[in-house]
Amino acid sequence: MSNANTHGDAEVEAAMLDAELFLKYQAPERAIKRLRSAIEHNPRSVQLRERLREIAIGSKHPDEAARQCLALASLYIAREDFDTAHDRLLEAKQIDPRISIAAGLEAIRRARRPDLHTASHAPAAREERSATTLAGDLSVISIFDVVQVLENARLTGALTLTSDQRNALIHFNQGRIVGAEADELQGIEAFRKTVEITQGTFGFERSTQEFPVTIQTTSNTSLILDTLREMDEGKQG
């Protein structure tokens, strides 16, 4: 095992040196190709992926940069480095807003708050009303996937979450989260409660009128990631 590790470390170091040499002679494409090749043999190397990410950003290869951001987020989650995973997910979304980072968000939530995932039976789905645009089971579709759909469709309306623990509402204006209600709380405090819901049902009803803004955020992704971080810090405190 030690010989294998030594060989892997030597391969990583050689690839890094080659990439720097290619960059020195202004050949970023060759540097990218060299790092990709090394990653095929060392897929869990954070060092290789971070350097490839940096070069891809600098040489205008957004697809490659976003791909590495997502891969790095998974590696950082496995290392329990949630803050850096948070940064890489946000960066991937900023590079390409079309990217779905719901899986990464769910992975961070599960890793940070395993206490939220005790075994339980999801309640029976409530009857859908005619005004409901989107509905489903939160044990099948995570809240992050739902938010992604509503954001991409730029919908205005209220997302109702129903579980054994609580009922909650999230308000959207043109796909952006602007408010929340849960347990007699409103705004960001209520939103923290909604993120804790992992079992139950959801239903979204469109609205012709926009909602008052009680949550100020630059993006849904930033709001969710910051909330997960605050929940983790609150648990530790």
Q: What sign has the CA pseudo-torsion 15, 31, 66, 224? A: positive
pLDDT class of 35 with cuts at 50, 70, 90: very high
Other CB atoms within a 10 A radius of the CB of residue 21 amount to 13
pLDDT of residue 159: 95
Measured CA to CA, the distance from residue 199 to residue 167 in angstroms comes to 11
Q: Residue 236 — pLDDT band, cuts 50, 70, 90?
A: low
Residue 130 has pLDDT above 50, yes or no: no
pLDDT interval class at 134 (50, 70, 90): confident
Q: pLDDT (tens digit, 9 = 90+) per residue, 53-92?
A: 999 999 999 999 999 999 999 999 889 898 899 899 989 9
Among 131, 124, 160, 146, CA closest to 224: 146
Considering only residues 100 and 20, tell me which one the structure prediction assigns the higher pLDDT: 20
Section 217-236 average pLDDT: 83
Q: How many CA atoms lie within 13 A of 26 on its CB side?
A: 0
Position 234 scores a pLDDT of 63
Lowest mean pLDDT among 72-86, 112-126, 149-163, 212-226: 112-126
Q: Taking the CB of residue 207, how many other CB atoms lie within 10 A of it?
A: 15
User: Which of 177, 182, 155 is CA-nearest to residue 225?
Assistant: 177
The span from the CA of 181 to the CA of 104, in Å, is 25
Percent of the chain with pLDDT over 90: 54
pLDDT at position 228 is: 87
pLDDT for 120: 43
Higher local confidence (pLDDT), 96 or 110:
96
Asked if the model's pLDDT at residue 129 lies above 60, the reply is: no
